Amino acid sequence: AQKITQTQPGMFVQEKEAVTLDCTYDTSDQSYGLFWYKQPSSGEMIFLIYQGSYDEQNATEGRYSLNFQKARKSANLVISASQLGDSAMYFCAMRDLLLIIQGAQKLVFGQGTRLTINP
Amino acid sequence: DVKVTQSSRYLVKRTGEKVFLECVQDMDHENMFWYRQDPGLGLRLIYFSYDVKMKEKGDIPEGYSVSREKKERFSLILESASTNQTSMYLCASTRYGSGTSEQFFGPGTRLTVL
């Protein structure tokens, strides 16, 4: 079974600093995808970034980048120049290929990290 | 603008009541999912559906059932609500075979069972 581990329940960072949120995963699959979501206090889940297991380069989306180290099974999210609006829960998730015929793509989530940006 | 909506943001029910949580998506997605979110546990999959009238159990289906009579609507049913079902419930959808595409989430329903 696939498993995602986020070992940082909470993090406090000064505004404008870079922050790294840790994510390690466990899978026996060769083909998988890794996602990061942000959940502000309002509750909605906002997709941030995706990394495929065969992607040769680390994914980047604006201030977000994913430090993908396949051999170590880690997929850390890096936020550059943090802003007050980055304060939120952050979830790492892995795509579990389930029911391939139907094409359903289940996500397995980590426990989440609560990030607080201090002014 | 893609959208997943859920019928209520906050809901308070009593133990033993039958509870319906509704989710509607306007993206013509085939796959829909129900998760519950609890502190320290992340999101856990309750049920998902890959087509109308088709459903599969997720990791924690006990105490829940689902219904998908129309493609855009996926309902989560608590047949007899219990206090341990107090939680945040999130609905999501994604298109068929969307290997690299994200799941789109609704705003969530915070359910309290007294």
pLDDT tens, N- to C-terminus, chain A (119 residues): 789 999 999 999 999 999 999 999 998 888 888 999 999 998 889 999 999 888 889 999 999 999 999 999 999 999 999 999 999 999 999 986 554 445 567 889 999 999 999 99
Contact B31 A104 (CB under 8 A): yes
Residues 6+ apart with CB under 8 A from B5: B23, B24, B25, B106, B107
Alpha carbons B49 and B68: distance in angstroms, whole number: 7
Helix (H) or strand (E) holding A64: strand A64-69
| % of chain B beyond a pLDDT of 90 | 81
Contact B42 A91 (CB under 8 A): yes
| Residue labelled with tokens 């959808």 | B93
What are the chain B neighbours of A103 within 8 Å (beta carbons)? 30-31, 50, 96-98
Contact A95 B99 (CB under 8 A): yes
- Asked whether the beta carbons of B45 and B32 are under 8 A apart, the reply is no
Asked if the C-beta of A56 comes within 8 angstroms of chain B's C-beta atoms, the answer is no
Contact A43 B102 (CB under 8 A): no
Q: By three-state DSSP, how is residue B85 classified?
A: helix
Residue A111 to residues A80, A88, B26, B43, B75, Cα–Cα distance (Å): 23, 14, 29, 7, 25
